[in-house]
Structure 1
Amino acid sequence: MSYVKFEQQGMVVVLTIDREKALNALNDQVLDDLNAAFDQIDQDYFRCVVITGAGTKAFVAGADIAAMSKMTRCEAVKFGQKGNELFRKIAKFPLPVIAAVNGFALGGGCELSLSCDIRLASENAVFGQPETGLGITPGFGGTQRLARLIAKGMAKEMIYAGTKIKADRAYQLGLVNAVYSQKELMPAAMKLANKIAVNAPIAVRASKQALNKGLQMNMDEAVVLEEQFFSSCFESCDQKEGMTAFVEKRKHEPFENK
Protein backbone atom coordinates (compact mmCIF):
# COMPACT_ATOMS: atom_id res chain seq x y z
CA MET A 1 0.00 0.00 0.00
CA SER A 2 1.68 3.15 -1.22
CA TYR A 3 -0.47 5.70 0.57
CA VAL A 4 -1.75 4.06 3.75
CA LYS A 5 0.40 3.08 6.72
CA PHE A 6 -0.84 0.11 8.74
CA GLU A 7 0.33 0.05 12.35
CA GLN A 8 -0.56 -2.30 15.19
CA GLN A 9 -0.64 -0.82 18.67
CA GLY A 10 -1.82 -3.59 20.97
CA MET A 11 -5.34 -4.49 19.94
CA VAL A 12 -5.78 -1.25 18.00
CA VAL A 13 -5.02 -0.71 14.31
CA VAL A 14 -3.86 2.77 13.29
CA LEU A 15 -4.31 3.61 9.61
CA THR A 16 -2.50 6.74 8.44
CA ILE A 17 -3.30 8.21 5.03
CA ASP A 18 0.18 9.17 3.90
CA ARG A 19 0.07 11.54 0.96
CA GLU A 20 1.25 14.56 2.89
CA LYS A 21 2.51 16.65 -0.05
CA ALA A 22 -1.00 16.52 -1.55
CA LEU A 23 -2.59 17.14 1.88
CA ASN A 24 -3.62 13.47 1.86
CA ALA A 25 -6.09 14.06 -0.96
CA LEU A 26 -8.11 11.04 -2.08
CA ASN A 27 -7.45 9.58 -5.50
CA ASP A 28 -8.10 6.09 -6.87
CA GLN A 29 -4.91 4.69 -5.35
CA VAL A 30 -5.59 6.10 -1.89
CA LEU A 31 -9.10 4.64 -1.96
CA ASP A 32 -7.73 1.28 -3.11
CA ASP A 33 -5.05 1.31 -0.40
CA LEU A 34 -7.53 2.20 2.33
CA ASN A 35 -9.85 -0.56 1.14
CA ALA A 36 -6.95 -3.05 1.18
CA ALA A 37 -5.96 -1.92 4.67
CA PHE A 38 -9.41 -2.71 6.04
CA ASP A 39 -9.27 -6.12 4.35
CA GLN A 40 -6.03 -6.86 6.22
CA ILE A 41 -7.48 -6.22 9.67
CA ASP A 42 -7.78 -9.44 11.68
CA GLN A 43 -11.22 -9.01 13.22
CA ASP A 44 -10.68 -11.91 15.59
CA TYR A 45 -7.74 -10.15 17.22
CA PHE A 46 -8.14 -6.39 16.83
CA ARG A 47 -10.77 -4.44 18.73
CA CYS A 48 -10.74 -0.90 17.32
CA VAL A 49 -9.43 1.14 14.36
CA VAL A 50 -8.08 4.71 14.32
CA ILE A 51 -7.81 6.62 11.03
CA THR A 52 -5.70 9.76 10.73
CA GLY A 53 -3.72 11.74 8.16
CA ALA A 54 0.02 12.23 7.82
CA GLY A 55 1.45 15.55 8.92
CA THR A 56 -0.17 18.39 10.82
CA LYS A 57 -2.00 20.28 8.06
CA ALA A 58 -4.64 17.83 6.89
CA PHE A 59 -6.61 14.76 7.83
CA VAL A 60 -7.74 14.58 4.20
CA ALA A 61 -8.09 17.88 2.34
CA GLY A 62 -10.58 16.34 -0.10
CA ALA A 63 -10.63 14.31 -3.26
CA ASP A 64 -7.93 14.93 -5.86
CA ILE A 65 -9.43 17.85 -7.83
CA ALA A 66 -6.78 17.73 -10.53
CA ALA A 67 -7.70 14.12 -11.27
CA MET A 68 -11.45 14.76 -11.05
CA SER A 69 -11.33 17.78 -13.34
CA LYS A 70 -10.58 15.52 -16.30
CA MET A 71 -13.22 12.88 -15.57
CA THR A 72 -16.10 12.11 -17.89
CA ARG A 73 -19.52 11.44 -16.42
CA CYS A 74 -18.95 7.69 -16.71
CA GLU A 75 -15.61 8.00 -14.94
CA ALA A 76 -17.25 10.12 -12.24
CA VAL A 77 -19.88 7.41 -11.71
CA LYS A 78 -17.15 4.82 -11.13
CA PHE A 79 -15.19 7.12 -8.83
CA GLY A 80 -18.29 7.95 -6.81
CA GLN A 81 -19.19 4.29 -6.51
CA LYS A 82 -15.68 3.39 -5.38
CA GLY A 83 -15.71 6.05 -2.66
CA ASN A 84 -19.22 5.21 -1.52
CA GLU A 85 -18.53 1.48 -1.38
CA LEU A 86 -15.42 2.10 0.73
CA PHE A 87 -17.10 4.54 3.10
CA ARG A 88 -20.09 2.20 3.50
CA LYS A 89 -17.59 -0.54 4.30
CA ILE A 90 -16.04 1.63 7.00
CA ALA A 91 -19.43 2.64 8.41
CA LYS A 92 -20.54 -1.01 8.56
CA PHE A 93 -17.15 -2.40 9.64
CA PRO A 94 -17.67 -4.66 12.68
CA LEU A 95 -14.98 -2.91 14.74
CA PRO A 96 -15.53 0.66 15.98
CA VAL A 97 -13.63 3.22 13.88
CA ILE A 98 -12.33 6.51 15.29
CA ALA A 99 -11.31 9.44 13.08
CA ALA A 100 -8.46 11.50 14.55
CA VAL A 101 -8.94 14.65 12.47
CA ASN A 102 -5.72 16.64 12.37
CA GLY A 103 -6.24 19.70 10.17
CA PHE A 104 -8.37 20.00 7.05
CA ALA A 105 -11.25 17.55 6.60
CA LEU A 106 -12.85 18.92 3.46
CA GLY A 107 -15.02 17.27 0.82
CA GLY A 108 -14.07 13.60 0.72
CA GLY A 109 -12.07 14.10 3.91
CA CYS A 110 -15.11 15.33 5.78
CA GLU A 111 -17.09 12.44 4.29
CA LEU A 112 -14.44 9.96 5.42
CA SER A 113 -14.70 11.27 8.97
CA LEU A 114 -18.50 11.05 8.78
CA SER A 115 -18.27 7.35 7.91
CA CYS A 116 -16.40 6.70 11.18
CA ASP A 117 -18.18 5.98 14.46
CA ILE A 118 -16.46 8.71 16.45
CA ARG A 119 -14.60 11.88 15.48
CA LEU A 120 -11.94 13.60 17.58
CA ALA A 121 -10.37 16.81 16.32
CA SER A 122 -7.22 18.84 16.75
CA GLU A 123 -7.57 22.56 17.43
CA ASN A 124 -6.62 23.37 13.83
CA ALA A 125 -9.20 21.04 12.31
CA VAL A 126 -11.54 22.49 9.68
CA PHE A 127 -14.58 20.63 8.36
CA GLY A 128 -16.45 21.44 5.17
CA GLN A 129 -18.25 20.26 2.05
CA PRO A 130 -17.09 22.84 -0.53
CA GLU A 131 -18.17 20.86 -3.60
CA THR A 132 -20.84 23.28 -4.86
CA GLY A 133 -18.09 25.86 -5.35
CA LEU A 134 -16.50 23.42 -7.79
CA GLY A 135 -19.70 22.79 -9.70
CA ILE A 136 -20.50 19.40 -8.16
CA THR A 137 -22.28 17.87 -5.17
CA PRO A 138 -20.70 15.86 -2.37
CA GLY A 139 -20.27 12.37 -3.78
CA PHE A 140 -19.15 10.08 -0.97
CA GLY A 141 -22.18 10.32 1.33
CA GLY A 142 -21.85 13.92 2.50
CA THR A 143 -25.41 14.94 1.67
CA GLN A 144 -26.73 12.02 3.69
CA ARG A 145 -24.46 11.50 6.69
CA LEU A 146 -23.90 15.14 7.62
CA ALA A 147 -27.63 15.86 7.97
CA ARG A 148 -27.98 12.75 10.13
CA LEU A 149 -25.28 13.95 12.53
CA ILE A 150 -25.97 17.66 12.94
CA ALA A 151 -28.99 19.94 12.54
CA LYS A 152 -30.37 19.72 9.01
CA GLY A 153 -30.29 23.49 8.53
CA MET A 154 -26.60 23.68 9.39
CA ALA A 155 -25.83 20.70 7.17
CA LYS A 156 -27.65 22.40 4.31
CA GLU A 157 -25.69 25.63 4.88
CA MET A 158 -22.39 23.75 4.86
CA ILE A 159 -23.34 22.04 1.59
CA TYR A 160 -25.22 24.81 -0.26
CA ALA A 161 -22.89 27.66 0.74
CA GLY A 162 -19.71 25.66 1.22
CA THR A 163 -19.44 27.02 4.78
CA LYS A 164 -16.40 25.66 6.62
CA ILE A 165 -16.42 25.20 10.38
CA LYS A 166 -13.51 25.10 12.78
CA ALA A 167 -13.01 22.53 15.51
CA ASP A 168 -14.73 24.47 18.30
CA ARG A 169 -17.85 24.98 16.16
CA ALA A 170 -17.80 21.32 15.12
CA TYR A 171 -17.80 20.42 18.80
CA GLN A 172 -20.74 22.75 19.50
CA LEU A 173 -22.69 21.10 16.68
CA GLY A 174 -21.93 17.58 17.91
CA LEU A 175 -19.89 16.72 14.84
CA VAL A 176 -16.87 15.85 16.99
CA ASN A 177 -16.74 14.37 20.48
CA ALA A 178 -13.77 16.42 21.71
CA VAL A 179 -11.09 18.89 20.63
CA TYR A 180 -7.41 18.54 21.56
CA SER A 181 -4.12 20.20 20.80
CA GLN A 182 -2.26 18.61 17.90
CA LYS A 183 0.16 17.03 20.36
CA GLU A 184 -2.66 15.54 22.44
CA LEU A 185 -4.87 14.30 19.57
CA MET A 186 -3.36 10.88 18.86
CA PRO A 187 -2.76 10.00 22.54
CA ALA A 188 -6.40 10.90 23.20
CA ALA A 189 -7.58 8.82 20.25
CA MET A 190 -5.50 5.87 21.43
CA LYS A 191 -6.76 6.23 24.99
CA LEU A 192 -10.35 6.05 23.75
CA ALA A 193 -9.55 3.17 21.37
CA ASN A 194 -7.96 1.19 24.18
CA LYS A 195 -10.90 1.95 26.47
CA ILE A 196 -13.13 0.38 23.80
CA ALA A 197 -10.69 -2.48 23.25
CA VAL A 198 -10.86 -3.78 26.82
CA ASN A 199 -14.65 -4.22 26.68
CA ALA A 200 -16.24 -7.40 25.39
CA PRO A 201 -15.83 -7.36 21.58
CA ILE A 202 -19.02 -9.30 20.92
CA ALA A 203 -21.00 -6.77 22.95
CA VAL A 204 -19.30 -3.74 21.37
CA ARG A 205 -19.87 -5.05 17.85
CA ALA A 206 -23.47 -5.99 18.60
CA SER A 207 -24.01 -2.48 19.97
CA LYS A 208 -22.60 -0.97 16.76
CA GLN A 209 -24.95 -3.05 14.63
CA ALA A 210 -27.91 -2.20 16.86
CA LEU A 211 -27.14 1.51 16.56
CA ASN A 212 -26.49 1.53 12.82
CA LYS A 213 -29.51 -0.56 11.92
CA GLY A 214 -31.84 0.74 14.60
CA LEU A 215 -31.40 4.37 13.66
CA GLN A 216 -32.87 3.55 10.25
CA MET A 217 -36.04 2.09 11.85
CA ASN A 218 -38.95 3.41 13.83
CA MET A 219 -38.70 3.00 17.60
CA ASP A 220 -40.99 -0.04 17.83
CA GLU A 221 -38.90 -1.94 15.30
CA ALA A 222 -35.61 -0.71 16.74
CA VAL A 223 -36.23 -1.92 20.29
CA VAL A 224 -37.12 -5.38 18.96
CA LEU A 225 -33.82 -5.38 17.09
CA GLU A 226 -32.03 -4.37 20.28
CA GLU A 227 -33.68 -7.24 22.15
CA GLN A 228 -32.22 -9.65 19.60
CA PHE A 229 -28.68 -8.31 19.96
CA PHE A 230 -29.04 -8.14 23.76
CA SER A 231 -30.12 -11.76 24.08
CA SER A 232 -27.49 -12.99 21.61
CA CYS A 233 -24.73 -11.86 23.99
CA PHE A 234 -25.93 -14.37 26.59
CA GLU A 235 -24.44 -17.20 24.55
CA SER A 236 -20.93 -15.81 24.91
CA CYS A 237 -18.14 -16.76 27.29
CA ASP A 238 -17.35 -13.07 27.72
CA GLN A 239 -20.87 -12.37 29.08
CA LYS A 240 -20.52 -15.18 31.60
CA GLU A 241 -17.10 -13.97 32.74
CA GLY A 242 -18.15 -10.31 32.88
CA MET A 243 -21.25 -10.92 34.96
CA THR A 244 -19.63 -13.53 37.19
CA ALA A 245 -16.77 -11.15 37.94
CA PHE A 246 -19.25 -8.41 38.82
CA VAL A 247 -21.21 -10.67 41.19
CA GLU A 248 -17.96 -11.90 42.77
CA LYS A 249 -16.73 -8.29 43.10
CA ARG A 250 -13.51 -8.90 41.21
CA LYS A 251 -11.95 -7.58 38.01
CA HIS A 252 -12.96 -9.63 35.02
CA GLU A 253 -10.37 -11.61 33.10
CA PRO A 254 -9.44 -10.20 29.65
CA PHE A 255 -12.32 -10.75 27.26
CA GLU A 256 -11.59 -13.35 24.59
CA ASN A 257 -14.11 -12.43 21.90
CA LYS A 258 -16.00 -15.68 22.26
Structure 2
Amino acid sequence: MTFENILVAVEDNLAKVTINRPKKLNALNKSTIEELHEAFKSLEENKDVKVILLTGSGEKAFVAGADISEFAHFSVDEGGKLAAKGQELLFDFVENLSTPVIAMVNGFALGGGLELAMSCHFRIASDNAKMGLPETSLGVIPGYGGTQRLPQLIGKGKAMELIMTAGMISADEAKSYGLVNYVVPQDELQGLGEKLASKITKNSSVAIGKAIKAVNDGFKDGINGYQSEVQQFGACFGTEDFKEGTTAFLEKRKADFPNK
Protein backbone atom coordinates (compact mmCIF):
# COMPACT_ATOMS: atom_id res chain seq x y z
CA MET A 1 0.00 0.00 0.00
CA THR A 2 1.29 3.44 -1.00
CA PHE A 3 -0.06 6.61 0.57
CA GLU A 4 0.84 10.30 0.64
CA ASN A 5 0.46 10.97 4.37
CA ILE A 6 1.04 7.62 6.07
CA LEU A 7 3.45 4.72 5.93
CA VAL A 8 2.32 1.10 6.23
CA ALA A 9 4.67 -1.82 6.80
CA VAL A 10 3.68 -5.44 7.33
CA GLU A 11 6.06 -8.11 8.58
CA ASP A 12 4.85 -11.56 9.53
CA ASN A 13 1.78 -11.05 11.73
CA LEU A 14 2.53 -7.43 12.68
CA ALA A 15 1.57 -4.24 10.86
CA LYS A 16 2.90 -0.77 11.64
CA VAL A 17 1.05 2.34 10.54
CA THR A 18 2.96 5.62 10.81
CA ILE A 19 1.32 9.01 10.31
CA ASN A 20 3.95 10.79 8.23
CA ARG A 21 3.42 14.56 8.21
CA PRO A 22 6.39 15.65 10.34
CA LYS A 23 6.34 19.27 9.15
CA LYS A 24 2.76 19.52 10.42
CA LEU A 25 3.53 17.50 13.56
CA ASN A 26 1.45 14.71 11.97
CA ALA A 27 -1.75 16.76 12.23
CA LEU A 28 -4.87 15.04 10.94
CA ASN A 29 -6.36 16.52 7.78
CA LYS A 30 -9.17 15.12 5.64
CA SER A 31 -6.79 13.26 3.35
CA THR A 32 -4.90 11.64 6.23
CA ILE A 33 -8.12 10.47 7.86
CA GLU A 34 -9.23 8.91 4.57
CA GLU A 35 -5.86 7.22 4.08
CA LEU A 36 -5.91 5.84 7.61
CA HIS A 37 -9.38 4.44 6.98
CA GLU A 38 -8.21 2.67 3.84
CA ALA A 39 -5.11 1.32 5.58
CA PHE A 40 -7.00 -0.03 8.59
CA LYS A 41 -9.71 -1.52 6.37
CA SER A 42 -7.10 -3.34 4.27
CA LEU A 43 -5.20 -4.59 7.33
CA GLU A 44 -8.41 -5.81 8.96
CA GLU A 45 -9.13 -7.86 5.83
CA ASN A 46 -5.60 -9.32 5.85
CA LYS A 47 -5.98 -12.41 8.03
CA ASP A 48 -2.20 -12.71 8.37
CA VAL A 49 -2.12 -9.44 10.33
CA LYS A 50 -2.87 -10.09 14.00
CA VAL A 51 -1.78 -6.80 15.59
CA ILE A 52 -1.48 -3.21 14.33
CA LEU A 53 0.88 -0.66 15.86
CA LEU A 54 0.00 3.00 15.26
CA THR A 55 2.46 5.85 15.75
CA GLY A 56 3.64 9.19 14.36
CA SER A 57 6.81 9.97 12.46
CA GLY A 58 9.70 11.74 14.14
CA GLU A 59 10.32 12.26 17.83
CA LYS A 60 8.07 15.24 18.55
CA ALA A 61 4.52 14.14 17.89
CA PHE A 62 2.16 11.23 17.67
CA VAL A 63 -0.51 13.53 16.26
CA ALA A 64 -0.49 17.15 17.40
CA GLY A 65 -4.16 17.66 16.57
CA ALA A 66 -6.46 18.29 13.64
CA ASP A 67 -5.52 20.56 10.75
CA ILE A 68 -7.44 23.64 11.91
CA SER A 69 -6.94 25.47 8.61
CA GLU A 70 -9.30 23.00 6.94
CA PHE A 71 -12.34 23.85 9.05
CA ALA A 72 -11.78 27.32 10.56
CA HIS A 73 -14.51 28.81 8.36
CA PHE A 74 -17.03 25.94 8.50
CA SER A 75 -20.73 26.53 9.16
CA VAL A 76 -22.74 24.77 11.88
CA ASP A 77 -23.90 22.15 9.38
CA GLU A 78 -20.40 21.63 7.99
CA GLY A 79 -18.95 21.29 11.48
CA GLY A 80 -21.46 18.60 12.43
CA LYS A 81 -20.81 16.68 9.24
CA LEU A 82 -17.03 16.93 9.82
CA ALA A 83 -17.34 15.25 13.22
CA ALA A 84 -19.80 12.62 12.03
CA LYS A 85 -17.72 11.66 9.00
CA GLY A 86 -14.48 11.56 10.96
CA GLN A 87 -15.97 9.32 13.63
CA GLU A 88 -17.41 6.99 11.00
CA LEU A 89 -14.27 6.75 8.86
CA LEU A 90 -11.61 6.53 11.53
CA PHE A 91 -12.29 6.83 15.25
CA ASP A 92 -15.29 4.51 15.63
CA PHE A 93 -13.89 2.36 12.83
CA VAL A 94 -10.62 1.73 14.69
CA GLU A 95 -12.33 1.10 18.02
CA ASN A 96 -14.51 -1.60 16.48
CA LEU A 97 -11.82 -3.43 14.50
CA SER A 98 -11.44 -7.08 15.48
CA THR A 99 -7.68 -6.73 14.95
CA PRO A 100 -6.02 -5.22 18.05
CA VAL A 101 -4.61 -1.73 17.54
CA ILE A 102 -1.95 -0.42 19.96
CA ALA A 103 -1.22 3.31 19.95
CA MET A 104 2.48 4.07 20.47
CA VAL A 105 2.30 7.70 21.61
CA ASN A 106 5.74 9.06 20.79
CA GLY A 107 5.24 12.76 21.55
CA PHE A 108 2.38 15.26 21.48
CA ALA A 109 -1.08 13.67 21.30
CA LEU A 110 -3.42 16.63 21.35
CA GLY A 111 -7.01 17.10 20.27
CA GLY A 112 -7.74 14.72 17.41
CA GLY A 113 -4.41 13.04 18.12
CA LEU A 114 -5.42 12.03 21.63
CA GLU A 115 -8.86 11.09 20.33
CA LEU A 116 -7.18 8.79 17.79
CA ALA A 117 -4.99 7.22 20.48
CA MET A 118 -8.07 6.70 22.67
CA SER A 119 -9.90 4.94 19.84
CA CYS A 120 -7.14 2.32 19.80
CA HIS A 121 -7.58 -0.72 22.02
CA PHE A 122 -4.85 0.43 24.39
CA ARG A 123 -1.95 2.86 24.55
CA ILE A 124 1.74 2.97 25.45
CA ALA A 125 3.81 6.14 25.55
CA SER A 126 7.32 7.51 25.45
CA ASP A 127 8.41 9.55 28.45
CA ASN A 128 8.40 12.79 26.45
CA ALA A 129 4.74 12.44 25.45
CA LYS A 130 2.23 15.16 26.28
CA MET A 131 -1.51 14.62 26.02
CA GLY A 132 -4.58 16.82 26.12
CA LEU A 133 -7.79 18.04 24.55
CA PRO A 134 -7.26 21.77 23.96
CA GLU A 135 -10.38 22.34 21.84
CA THR A 136 -12.14 24.68 24.30
CA SER A 137 -9.26 27.13 23.88
CA LEU A 138 -10.36 27.37 20.23
CA GLY A 139 -14.03 27.88 21.03
CA VAL A 140 -15.05 24.34 20.17
CA ILE A 141 -15.25 20.94 21.89
CA PRO A 142 -13.66 17.59 21.04
CA GLY A 143 -15.60 16.18 18.09
CA TYR A 144 -13.97 12.85 17.40
CA GLY A 145 -15.15 11.01 20.51
CA GLY A 146 -13.05 12.80 23.11
CA THR A 147 -15.94 13.79 25.37
CA GLN A 148 -16.97 10.14 25.55
CA ARG A 149 -13.77 8.08 25.56
CA LEU A 150 -11.75 10.25 27.96
CA PRO A 151 -14.29 9.92 30.82
CA GLN A 152 -14.56 6.18 30.12
CA LEU A 153 -10.79 5.83 30.48
CA ILE A 154 -9.93 8.20 33.33
CA GLY A 155 -13.23 9.07 35.01
CA LYS A 156 -15.68 11.93 34.62
CA GLY A 157 -14.12 14.41 37.04
CA LYS A 158 -10.59 14.39 35.65
CA ALA A 159 -11.88 14.33 32.09
CA MET A 160 -14.03 17.38 32.79
CA GLU A 161 -10.99 19.18 34.21
CA LEU A 162 -8.78 18.40 31.22
CA ILE A 163 -11.44 19.42 28.71
CA MET A 164 -12.41 22.62 30.54
CA THR A 165 -8.85 23.78 31.22
CA ALA A 166 -7.57 22.69 27.78
CA GLY A 167 -4.48 21.57 29.66
CA MET A 168 -1.82 18.99 28.88
CA ILE A 169 -0.65 16.12 31.03
CA SER A 170 2.66 14.28 31.01
CA ALA A 171 3.11 10.65 30.08
CA ASP A 172 3.57 9.73 33.75
CA GLU A 173 0.35 11.52 34.69
CA ALA A 174 -1.43 9.75 31.85
CA LYS A 175 -0.21 6.42 33.21
CA SER A 176 -1.35 7.25 36.72
CA TYR A 177 -4.84 8.03 35.36
CA GLY A 178 -4.98 4.80 33.35
CA LEU A 179 -4.89 6.60 30.01
CA VAL A 180 -1.74 4.74 28.95
CA ASN A 181 -0.55 1.33 30.11
CA TYR A 182 3.22 1.85 30.03
CA VAL A 183 5.73 4.70 29.81
CA VAL A 184 9.26 4.06 28.51
CA PRO A 185 12.13 6.09 27.02
CA GLN A 186 11.42 6.93 23.39
CA ASP A 187 14.09 4.59 22.04
CA GLU A 188 12.37 1.68 23.81
CA LEU A 189 8.82 2.42 22.63
CA GLN A 190 8.99 0.41 19.41
CA GLY A 191 10.50 -2.58 21.22
CA LEU A 192 7.78 -2.52 23.85
CA GLY A 193 5.09 -2.34 21.19
CA GLU A 194 6.54 -5.33 19.40
CA LYS A 195 6.89 -7.26 22.66
CA LEU A 196 3.23 -6.72 23.54
CA ALA A 197 2.20 -7.57 19.99
CA SER A 198 4.19 -10.81 20.18
CA LYS A 199 2.31 -11.84 23.31
CA ILE A 200 -1.01 -11.11 21.61
CA THR A 201 -0.18 -13.04 18.44
CA LYS A 202 0.38 -16.22 20.45
CA ASN A 203 -3.31 -16.27 21.33
CA SER A 204 -6.43 -16.90 19.25
CA SER A 205 -7.12 -13.92 16.98
CA VAL A 206 -10.73 -15.11 16.66
CA ALA A 207 -11.19 -15.07 20.45
CA ILE A 208 -9.47 -11.70 20.73
CA GLY A 209 -11.83 -10.21 18.15
CA LYS A 210 -14.83 -11.50 20.09
CA ALA A 211 -13.37 -10.14 23.35
CA ILE A 212 -12.97 -6.71 21.74
CA LYS A 213 -16.62 -6.72 20.72
CA ALA A 214 -17.82 -7.82 24.16
CA VAL A 215 -15.76 -5.16 25.94
CA ASN A 216 -16.86 -2.41 23.53
CA ASP A 217 -20.51 -3.41 23.82
CA GLY A 218 -20.39 -2.75 27.54
CA PHE A 219 -19.88 0.96 26.75
CA LYS A 220 -22.65 1.28 24.16
CA ASP A 221 -26.12 2.59 24.93
CA GLY A 222 -28.89 0.06 24.56
CA ILE A 223 -26.57 -2.95 24.56
CA ASN A 224 -26.23 -5.28 27.54
CA GLY A 225 -22.51 -5.98 27.82
CA TYR A 226 -23.04 -9.11 29.90
CA GLN A 227 -25.42 -10.51 27.31
CA SER A 228 -22.93 -9.66 24.58
CA GLU A 229 -20.29 -11.57 26.52
CA VAL A 230 -22.58 -14.61 26.74
CA GLN A 231 -23.16 -14.48 22.98
CA GLN A 232 -19.49 -14.07 22.09
CA PHE A 233 -18.44 -16.73 24.59
CA GLY A 234 -20.91 -19.18 23.09
CA ALA A 235 -19.80 -18.34 19.55
CA CYS A 236 -16.24 -19.32 20.45
CA PHE A 237 -17.37 -22.92 20.90
CA GLY A 238 -18.03 -23.15 17.18
CA THR A 239 -14.52 -22.10 16.14
CA GLU A 240 -11.52 -24.17 15.16
CA ASP A 241 -9.44 -22.09 17.56
CA PHE A 242 -11.55 -23.31 20.50
CA LYS A 243 -11.04 -26.92 19.47
CA GLU A 244 -7.30 -26.42 19.10
CA GLY A 245 -6.92 -24.41 22.30
CA THR A 246 -8.76 -26.85 24.52
CA THR A 247 -7.15 -29.88 22.88
CA ALA A 248 -3.69 -28.39 23.32
CA PHE A 249 -4.42 -27.67 26.97
CA LEU A 250 -5.56 -31.23 27.63
CA GLU A 251 -2.57 -32.62 25.75
CA LYS A 252 -0.23 -30.31 27.70
CA ARG A 253 1.24 -28.62 24.62
CA LYS A 254 1.24 -25.12 23.16
CA ALA A 255 -1.70 -24.32 20.94
CA ASP A 256 -1.15 -23.74 17.23
CA PHE A 257 -4.19 -21.65 16.40
CA PRO A 258 -5.54 -21.77 12.82
CA ASN A 259 -7.31 -18.46 13.57
CA LYS A 260 -10.62 -19.74 12.26
Confirm or deny a common fold (TM above 0.5): yes
Task: Determine which of 157, 161, 167 is the counterpart of 1:157.
Answer: 161
State TM-score, norm by structure 2: 0.94
Task: Determine which of 187, 192, 197 is the counterpart of 1:193.
Answer: 197
Task: Determine which of 227, 231, 242 is the counterpart of 2:234.
Answer: 231
Task: Give the aligned residue type for 2:23.
Answer: K
Whether the 8 Å contact between 1:91 and 1:115 is mirrored in structure 2 is: yes
Say whether residues 1:15 and 2:41 are aligned partners.
no
- Who is 2:107 aligned against? 103
User: Deviation at 1:161?
Assistant: 0.8
- Who is 1:40 aligned against? 42
C-alpha separation between the residues in 1 aligned to 2:254 and 2:139? 57
Q: Structure 1 78/222 Cα, relative in aligned 2: closer, same or farther at 3 Å?
A: closer
Gaps (5+ residues) in structure 1? Answer: none
Task: Determine which of 188, 206, 213 is the counterpart of 1:209.
Answer: 213
Whether the 8 Å contact between 2:12 and 2:48 is mirrored in structure 1 is: no
Whether the 8 Å contact between 2:13 and 2:51 is mirrored in structure 1 is: yes
C-alpha separation between the residues in 2 aligned to 1:246 and 1:81? 46
Cα offsets for 1:159-180 (capped at 9, x unmatched): 0111210000000000000001
Whether the 8 Å contact between 2:14 and 2:197 is mirrored in structure 1 is: yes
Give the SS at the match of 1:168. helix
State TM-score, norm by structure 1: 0.95
Q: Structure 1 82/222 Cα, relative in aligned 2: closer, same or farther at 3 Å?
A: closer
User: Deviation at 1:50?
Assistant: 1.0
Task: Determine which of 54, 57, 71 is the counterpart of 1:54.
Answer: 57
- Who is 1:244 aligned against? 247
Task: Determine which of 139, 142, 147 is the counterpart of 1:135.
Answer: 139
User: Deviation at 1:218?
Assistant: 9.0
Identity of aligned residues (%): 45
- Who is 1:116 aligned against? 120
Q: Structure 1 210/43 Cα, relative in aligned 2: closer, same or farther at 3 Å?
A: farther
Task: Determine which of 59, 62, 66 is the counterpart of 1:63.
Answer: 66
Say whether residues 1:184 and 2:188 are aligned partners.
yes
Whether the 8 Å contact between 1:101 and 1:120 is mirrored in structure 2 is: yes
Whether the 8 Å contact between 1:48 and 1:97 is mirrored in structure 2 is: yes
Whether the 8 Å contact between 1:128 and 1:165 is mirrored in structure 2 is: yes
C-alpha separation between the residues in 1 aligned to 2:13 and 2:94? 18
C-alpha separation between the residues in 1 aligned to 2:253 and 2:87? 45
C-alpha separation between the residues in 2 aligned to 1:209 and 1:140? 20
Task: Determine which of 171, 178, 181 is the counterpart of 2:175.
Answer: 171
Cα offsets for 1:50-104 (capped at 9, x unmatched): 1100000000000012222233333323322222112000111111111000000
Task: Determine which of 81, 86, 90 is the counterpart of 2:84.
Answer: 81
How many corresponding residue pairs? 256
Gaps (5+ residues) in structure 2? Answer: none
User: Deviation at 1:223?
Assistant: 2.5
Q: Structure 1 215/84 Cα, relative in aligned 2: closer, same or farther at 3 Å?
A: closer
Task: Give the aligned residue type for 1:13.
Answer: A
